[in-house]
Amino acid sequence: MELREEIMEKDHSRLNKHPQLVTDLKVLNIIIKEIPNFVSISAKQAWTKKIHASSAAIDISTACNLRCVHCYVYRNEKVPYEFNRLSQMSDEEWIARIERLKKEHPHINHVTWVGGEPLMKRELLRKGTTLFKYNWIITNGTLPIPEDFENTTLIISLDGPEEYHDQIRGKDVYSRAKNNIMKTKANVYAHCVINSKNKDSIEKLVEEWIGTNLKGIRFSFHTPEYGVEDPLWLSADERDNIVKQISMLKEKYGNFIWMTKIEIEALKSENQLKVFGDNCLLKNGANISLDNKGDVKKPCVMGPTADCNRCGCTVPPMLYAIAKKNHIPTALNLAKSFC
Please state the domain extents for the chain. Answer: 1-33, 42-336
Over range 270-298, report the average pLDDT. 91
Between CA 196 and CA 229 the distance in angstroms is 13
Strand runs labelled E in the chain = 55-59, 110-114, 134-139, 152-157, 188-194, 217-221, 287-290
DSSP class of 296: B
With a CB cutoff of 8 Å and minimum separation 6, the contacts of 128 are 58, 60, 94, 95, 98, 111, 113, 135
pLDDT > 90 fraction of the chain, expressed in percent and rounded:
53
Confidence check: pLDDT of 226 > 50: yes
Highest mean pLDDT among 29-38, 61-70, 87-96: 87-96
**CA dihedral angle for residue 76, residue 159, residue 260, residue 251, rounded to 10 degrees:** 150
Order of strands across the sheet that contains 188-194: 217-221, 188-194, 152-157, 134-139, 110-114, 55-59, 287-290
**Mean pLDDT score of the chain, rounded to an integer?**
82
Confidence check: pLDDT of 31 > 80: no
Confidence check: pLDDT of 18 > 70: no
DSSP class of 310: G
Looking at residue 85, its pLDDT comes to 43
Question: In whole angstroms, what separates CA 245 from the centre of its chain?
Answer: 21
Closest CA to 242 of 220, 215, 275: 220
Provide the β-strand partners of residue 55: 110, 287
| Number of alpha helices (DSSP H) and beta strands (DSSP E) in the chain | 16, 7
Residue 47: band (very low, low, confident or very high) from pLDDT cuts 50, 70, 90: very low
- Contacts of residues 277-281 at CB distance under 8 Å and 24 or more positions apart, as own/partner, are 277/308, 277/309, 277/311, 278/308, 280/308, 280/311, 280/316, 281/41, 281/46, 281/51, 281/316, 281/319, 281/320, 281/323
Which listed CATH number (3.20.20.70, 1.20.120.1200, 3.40.50.10800, 2.120.10.30) goes with 42-336?
A: 3.20.20.70
**Peptide bond connecting 116 to the previous residue in cis, omega within 30 degrees of 0:** yes
Confidence check: pLDDT of 200 > 70: yes
Residue 337: band (very low, low, confident or very high) from pLDDT cuts 50, 70, 90: confident
Tell which wins on pLDDT, 79 or 164: 164
Confidence check: pLDDT of 273 > 50: yes
Looking at residue 339, its pLDDT comes to 65
With a CB cutoff of 8 Å and minimum separation 6, the contacts of 170 are 66, 67, 68
Confidence check: pLDDT of 96 > 60: yes
- Weakest-pLDDT range from 81-90, 187-196, 247-256, 288-297: 81-90
Looking at residue 323, its pLDDT comes to 78
Looking at residue 196, its pLDDT comes to 92
Where do the H-state alpha helices sit in 121-235? 122-128, 162-169, 173-183, 202-209
Residue type, 232: L
Looking at residue 50, its pLDDT comes to 52
Residue 295: band (very low, low, confident or very high) from pLDDT cuts 50, 70, 90: very high
- Weakest-pLDDT range from 38-47, 108-117, 207-216: 38-47
pLDDT > 70 fraction of the chain, expressed in percent and rounded:
77
- CA 285, 290, 292: angle at the middle one, nearest 5? 165
Closest CA to 59 of 3, 107, 112: 112
Looking at residue 145, its pLDDT comes to 94
Between CA 117 and CA 300 the distance in angstroms is 18
